[in-house]
């Protein structure tokens, strides 16, 4: 097992030497104001058998989770995904069906409050979608994709405690406490590929507890394990695509003192200033045809600090559950009047369930993804104060009846970002904090840099009231029983009318034949 703990401070954050100290057995931090990443790498032999069996059948398996809470994403942890659980999977063999993966996901992430499984999956071939990979050179993008809403990682923490902690037999409560810390993380990643034969689990905390980080990171109990520690600061590099980092590094239990370091690397993902933000809402009343509004601050529309020869455009990537969908023919139009009325430039990519007529209970896969380029106004406009809004018309599927006559459809906020490419730009290599397979990064070329806008709201999920058939008995014409009875009566009357018309035709022909015989 290899563990890497990294603290990243803002350049303006004060730091005192006593806040980080190294001894022969541990490194201690006290009241540290910083973002934190904890990354642990396991070999297959360190994993529970049920997990190891699934990984051995996978070419790659990558899980991405983000909290529903709004948080600040600083460099080098600037990349974002929509809140919830994203699964990217490529089987080891193209014709291989892996029911074990879905079974494992259901076990790990448990059930919702209503008893339904969080991961509604039978096999990846039936439940996952195939993403529209426009660039095969960019990264080893997975061939199948899945999404589900997941507000909390409690079931995952319980699974780790009863399997990994028990198997490794770590003394005391260290393993349980470390697993429990995932409950406060802002983002958690799981990465496995058949080349490295290793599983990496990463957690990111964008901000410290109220009193700062205070903990002791002990040296590993086994000589085969390693714990690396880093206390760094990040700032813009000399080149526009670079991030420069400097600070202190140490290997716990091996180094006698922390080593100063400074390095830089090209990065795909860069944060914009905190006032470059956006918000999401739905026009009221939503009805069955809600319109998503993406409102951007004017500072969000300023060109990012990309190389001068780069071509930049602002994009929104939507992850829609099966209850909400877009019309690919409507949104994929090139009609300038439609696009201008919604401040859209084009629909660049889409994948998933596109049936316009199917009710939600008849949809087999989890939903759909949509990549839009927004028609942002030029930065030289006279209006520098008011916000700017792009709108995306969507549709709701028919949902099962309820006793109240309404059901809730929850839609995660999209990811909004600038994508900048340059013909002569630097090809992005792998850096120590690189994050790929986000669902939308594989839709761009290898020289693309992404500048992330910051969501404003406290909760990054919008709830929509969907009108459905009312099951509750009471007064009113639109009760389920009345509608069922009315439908039966209409069908019966229609059948009788058709039958009567057939009898009329038959009688008319019979009378005409008798008349012709008399003549």
Mean pLDDT of 106-112: 89
Which residue, chain included where needed, has tokens 């057939």?
502
Flag whether 4 is in a domain: yes
Residue 137: the pLDDT is 46
Flag whether 287 is in a domain: yes
Is the predicted pLDDT of residue 169 greater than 90, yes or no? Answer: no
Mean pLDDT of the chain: 87
Question: Are 399 and 493 found together in one domain?
Answer: no
CA–CA dist 440, 65 (Å, integer)? 15
Residue 335: the pLDDT is 94
CA–CA dist 122, 108 (Å, integer)? 15
Flag whether 314 is in a domain: yes
Is the predicted pLDDT of residue 460 greater than 70, yes or no? Answer: yes
Question: Are 381 and 491 found together in one domain?
Answer: no
Residue 370: the pLDDT is 96
Cβ-contact 39, 3 below 8 angstroms: yes
pLDDT level of residue 232 (50, 70, 90 thresholds): very high
Question: Are 305 and 402 found together in one domain?
Answer: yes
For residue 29, the cross-strand partners are 20, 215
Residue 486: the pLDDT is 74
Flag whether 336 is in a domain: yes
Flag whether 58 is in a domain: no
Question: Are 447 and 482 found together in one domain?
Answer: no
Question: Are 229 and 371 found together in one domain?
Answer: no
Residue 301: the pLDDT is 93
Using a cut of 0.85, tell me whether the model's pTM lies above it. yes
pLDDT level of residue 446 (50, 70, 90 thresholds): confident
Residue 388: the pLDDT is 93
Which residue, chain included where needed, has tokens 């629909």?
347
Question: Are 315 and 445 found together in one domain?
Answer: yes
End position of a domain, from candidates 441, 467, 493: 467
Kindly compute the dihedral angle of the four CA atoms of residues 464, 468, 472, 473, in this order, to the nearest 10 degrees.
140
Mean pLDDT of 57-63: 92
Question: Are 318 and 382 found together in one domain?
Answer: yes
Structural domain count, the chain: 3
Is the predicted pLDDT of residue 3 greater than 60, yes or no? Answer: yes
To which H or E segment does residue 62 belong? strand 58-66
Question: Are 332 and 400 found together in one domain?
Answer: yes
Mean pLDDT of 117-140: 76
Question: Are 392 and 503 found together in one domain?
Answer: no
- Specify the range with the lowest mean pLDDT, choosing from 169-173, 460-464, 484-488: 169-173
The two beta strands, 449-452 and 269-271, are parallel
Closest to 467 in 3D by CA, of 410, 396, 393 = 396
Question: Are 369 and 338 found together in one domain?
Answer: yes
Residue 409: the pLDDT is 92
End position of a domain, from candidates 467, 493, 509: 467
Mean pLDDT of 272-287: 90
Question: Are 370 and 405 found together in one domain?
Answer: yes
End position of a domain, from candidates 423, 439, 467: 467
Structure tokens belonging to residue 362: 């008849």
Question: Are 313 and 456 found together in one domain?
Answer: yes
Determine what percent of the chain is predicted with pLDDT higher than 90.
49
**Residue range 195-215, pLDDT digits in tens:** 888 999 999 999 999 889 999
Flag whether 148 is in a domain: no
Residue 136: the pLDDT is 47
Cβ-contact 113, 445 below 8 angstroms: no
Structure tokens belonging to residue 367: 């939903």
**Residue range 240-264, pLDDT digits in tens:** 888 999 999 999 989 889 999 999 8
Higher pLDDT, 190 or 483: 190
Residue 1's domain spans which residues?
1-34+208-267
pLDDT level of residue 515 (50, 70, 90 thresholds): low
Which residue, chain included where needed, has tokens 């983002």?
187
For residue 38, the cross-strand partners are 5, 203
Flag whether 390 is in a domain: yes
Flag whether 372 is in a domain: yes
**Residue range 7-49, pLDDT digits in tens:** 999 888 888 888 999 998 899 999 999 999 999 999 888 888 8
Determine what percent of the chain is predicted with pLDDT higher than 70.
89
Mean pLDDT of 337-342: 95
3-state DSSP assignment of residue 350:
strand
């Amino acid at each position: 097992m290899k563990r890497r703990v990294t603290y990243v401070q803002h350049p303006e954050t004060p730091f005192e030497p006593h806040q980080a100290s190294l001894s022969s057995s541990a490194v201690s931090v006290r009241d540290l104001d910083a973002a934190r990443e904890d990354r642990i790498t396991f070999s297959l032999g360190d994993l529970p058998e049920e997990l190891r069996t699934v990984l051995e059948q996978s070419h790659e398996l990558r899980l991405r989770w983000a909290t529903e809470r709004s948080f600040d994403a600083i460099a080098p942890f600037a990349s974002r995904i929509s809140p919830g659980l994203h699964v990217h999977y490529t089987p080891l063999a193209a014709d291989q069906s892996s029911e074990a993966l879905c079974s494992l996901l259901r076990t790990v992430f448990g059930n919702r409050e209503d008893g339904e499984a969080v991961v509604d999956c039978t096999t990846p071939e039936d439940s996952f979608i195939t993403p529209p990979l426009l660039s095969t050179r960019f990264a080893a993008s997975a061939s199948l994709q899945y999404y589900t809403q997941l507000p909390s990682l409690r079931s995952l923490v319980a699974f780790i405690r009863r399997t990994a902690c028990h198997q490794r037999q770590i003394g005391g409560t260290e393993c349980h406490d470390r697993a429990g810390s995932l409950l406060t993380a802002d983002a958690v990643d799981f990465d496995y590929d058949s080349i490295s034969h290793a599983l990496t689990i990463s957690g990111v905390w964008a901000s410290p507890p109220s009193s700062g980080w205070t903990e002791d990171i002990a040296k590993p109990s086994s000589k085969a394990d390693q714990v690396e520690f880093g206390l760094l600061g990040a700032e813009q590099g000399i080149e526009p695509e670079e991030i420069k980092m400097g600070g202190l590094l140490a290997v716990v239990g091996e180094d006698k003192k922390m080593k100063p370091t400074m390095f830089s690397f090209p990065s795909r993902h860069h944060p914009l200033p905190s006032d470059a933000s956006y918000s999401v809402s739905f026009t009221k009343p939503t009805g069955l045809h809600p319109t998503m509004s993406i409102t951007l601050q004017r500072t969000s529309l300023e060109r990012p600090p990309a190389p001068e020869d780069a071509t930049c455009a602002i994009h929104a990537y939507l992850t829609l559950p099966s209850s909400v969908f877009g019309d690919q023919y409507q949104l994929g139009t090139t009609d300038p009047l439609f696009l201008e009325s919604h401040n859209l430039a084009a629909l660049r990519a889409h994948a998933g369930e596109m049936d316009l007529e199917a009710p939600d209970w008849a949809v087999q896969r989890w939903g759909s993804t949509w990549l839009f380029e927004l028609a942002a106004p030029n930065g030289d406009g006279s209006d520098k104060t008011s916000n700017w809004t792009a709108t995306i018309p969507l549709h709701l599927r028919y949902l099962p009846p309820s006793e109240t006559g309404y059901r809730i459809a929850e839609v995660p906020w999209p990811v909004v970002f600038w994508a900048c490419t340059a013909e002569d730009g630097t090809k992005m290599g792998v850096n120590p904090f690189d994050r790929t397979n986000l669902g939308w990064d594989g839709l761009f070329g290898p020289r693309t840099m992404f500048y992330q806008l910051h969501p404003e709201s406290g909760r990054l999920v919008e709830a929509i009231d969907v009108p459905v058939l009312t099951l509750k008995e009471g007064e009113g014409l639109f009760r389920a029983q009345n509608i069922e009875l009315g439908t039966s009566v209409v069908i019966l009357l229609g059948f009788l009318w058709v039958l009567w018309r057939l009898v009329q035709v038959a009688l008319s022909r019979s009378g005409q034949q008798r008349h012709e015989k008399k003549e």
